[in-house]
């Protein structure tokens, strides 16, 4: 995340992507039991210590609740439809002003710089508005539909293989 002219802009870093995927895992699996970071670590192929840092931010912001003890892990602290992707991003990558870091694209104050800055700012605002409208629940529904399609495709392949085997043994 960064700022431009004092406005917040969204940056979808690897850390944000991992946070969203990790919360999706928690959302999908928490009904059975709290989700352990070791399990998420294996599934996402990231280190447990990296996830611990992400989940510390999410816990401090109140988006997840830790469950202690054997079989412990994390649960969502809010309904998935109440957690936007923008909120997750802002939690794990807090806004910071990196306008001083940016290299000028043109002479400061020139029409080209003003237009470029306005275009970039509008793109960031559009991205942020979109991500505020996408909830974790939206991603969970998409993942569920994808899994159902995969299951159907696997079942179709198994059924086709069974029929092929029957046809070959009948001849």
| CATH value at residue 125 | 1.10.10.10
Domain range spanning residue 105? 2-170
Q: How far apart are CA 106 and CA 108, in angstroms?
A: 6
Q: Which letter does DSSP use for residue 106 in this model?
A: S
Q: Strand, coil or helix: what is 168?
A: helix
Q: What is the mean pLDDT of residues 117-146?
A: 78
Which of 11-15, 21-25, 138-142, 163-167 shows the lowest per-residue confidence on average (mean pLDDT)? Answer: 163-167
Give me the residue label for tokens 């995340």: 1
- pLDDT the model gives residue 47: 94
What pTM does this model have? 0.66
For residue 3 the two structure tokens come to 């700022």
Query: Domains in the chain: how many in total?
Result: 1
């Amino acid at each position: 995340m960064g700022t431009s002219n004092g406005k917040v802009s969204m940056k979808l870093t690897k850390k944000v992507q991992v946070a969203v995927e990790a919360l999706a895992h928690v959302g999908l699996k928490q009904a059975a039991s709290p989700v352990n970071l070791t399990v998420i670590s294996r599934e996402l192929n990231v280190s447990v210590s990296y996830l611990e840092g992400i989940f510390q931010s999410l816990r401090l912001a109140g988006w997840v609740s830790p469950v202690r003890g054997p079989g412990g892990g994390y649960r969502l602290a809010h309904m998935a439809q109440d957690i936007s992707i923008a909120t997750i991003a802002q939690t794990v990558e807090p806004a910071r002003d990196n306008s001083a870091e940016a290299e000028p694209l043109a002479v400061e104050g020139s029409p080209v710089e003003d237009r470029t800055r306005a275009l970039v700012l509008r793109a960031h605002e559009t991205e942020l508005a979109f991500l505020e409208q996408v909830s974790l629940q939206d991603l969970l529904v998409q993942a569920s539909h994808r899994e159902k399609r995969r299951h159907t495709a696997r079942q179709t392949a198994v059924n086709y293989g069974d029929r092929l085997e029957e046809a070959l043994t009948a001849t």
